[in-house]
Structure 1
Amino acid sequence: MTGRSEGRRVHVMQGEAKVDEGPDTILTTLLGSCVAACIRDPGAGVGGMNHFLLPGSSGQEGARAESFGLYLMELLINGLLQRGARRGHLEAKLFGGARAMDGLSEVGSKNAAFAERFLQMENITYLGGSLGGTTGRRIEYWPHTGRARQIFFEKAVMPPIKVAPPIRKPQAIGEVELF
């Protein structure tokens, strides 16, 4: 056994939401501070996954809506409803929201808090998942059954950056006449 389950793998990129009901479909994504919501209707056998970069919505004209959690949560839920899911039967798992790099803002924890709040406000059953931490992860989700698997990345250690010594200006020798 290779450790990878057989099936039709569909990768969910940042800013996307995908819905599927195939019994052999595996939705996958890679997460750091981003969050993925895996939502399904077990009775309808349909589920999906999104992958958002920032919580809420921008409120700024010209901002890319597909980066924001509110847009992608609505896109995912509407996609599920179009495929026969019933809003009152939805259940969700959340993953991601890590503080993957020291010194960066708290966007991961804000993403996680937004996603949990959204599920609560929309009365979607929250089954758990894995939010926070300090390392990225790969998520595999079987939308037909609701099974999820998480594989953590090893914490990347950045080698020290070598900085070139400053360039010294050559000292002027003799006189220079400018024209």
Structure 2
Amino acid sequence: MVTIVQGDFAVSNDVHVVMSTILGSCVAVCLFDRQAKVGGMNHFLLATGGDANTADLKYGVNAMELLINKILRAGGDRRRLQAKIFGGARMTVHARDIGQSNGDFAQSFLEREGIPCLSQSLGGTLARRVQFTPTTGAARQMQITGSPPPETQVTRPRQAADITLF
């Protein structure tokens, strides 16, 4: 079992390897070449951002480019790559929907690059555990249930006239 943490990726051609990650608003793209029996998984936190010259894997574009390049170096053929996408949940109601942005990015990246997406599980409000076998492309997802975090009431700060200073 190879665990993929936030901002990381792995590639393997070992039939015994299973990759695993846990996702909330992050997205994992599982890429594989079934004929060459090689594939990999990434786990990115944000669709875009940062410096274009950095190799920071928390950003989708870097995570995707590095994953593709390593699969090709391991014997994969770009024309045979296929994908499965997971994650992109909305984990909080008070902030912008980062999960939606991450999912949209992954889908548009694959479309632009001509890599077919065979299946996807994006959105919702639950975290996911994903297991992926890179040599076959087999993937399984388990939603992580539990009570959602309590919503906190947003209170406005008092106006200056309401404050008494001693």
Q: State the TM-score, normalizing by the size of structure 2.
A: 0.86
2:55–2:62 CA contact under 8 A, matched in 1:
no
Q: What does 1:1-179 correspond to in 2, within 5 Å? A: 9-59=1-51, 65-158=56-149
Q: Structure 2 unaligned runs (5+)?
A: 153-166
Q: Aligned equivalents of 1:135 and 1:126: distance in 2?
A: 22
The residue that corresponds to 1:173 in the other structure is: none
Mapped contact 1:57–1:71 kept (Cα < 8 A)? no
Provide the aligned C-alpha RMSD in A. Answer: 2.0
TM-score, normalised to structure 1, is 0.80
Greater radius of gyration (CA):
1
Structure 1 residue runs without a partner (length 5+):
1-8, 162-179
CA distance in 2, matches of 1:25, 1:142: 6
Q: Deviations over 1:92-120 (max 9, x none)?
A: 00000000222121110000000000000
Name the CA shift for 1:123/1:64 in 2 (closer, same or farther; >3 Å).
closer
Runs of 4+ in 1 over 6 A off after TM superposition: none
Count of residues in correspondence between the two structures: 153
Shift of 1:80: 0.1
How far the C-alpha of 1:159 sits from its partner, in A, is 5.5
C-alpha contact 1:47 1:146 (8 A) present in aligned 2: yes
Preserved CA contact (<8 Å) 1:57 1:65:
no
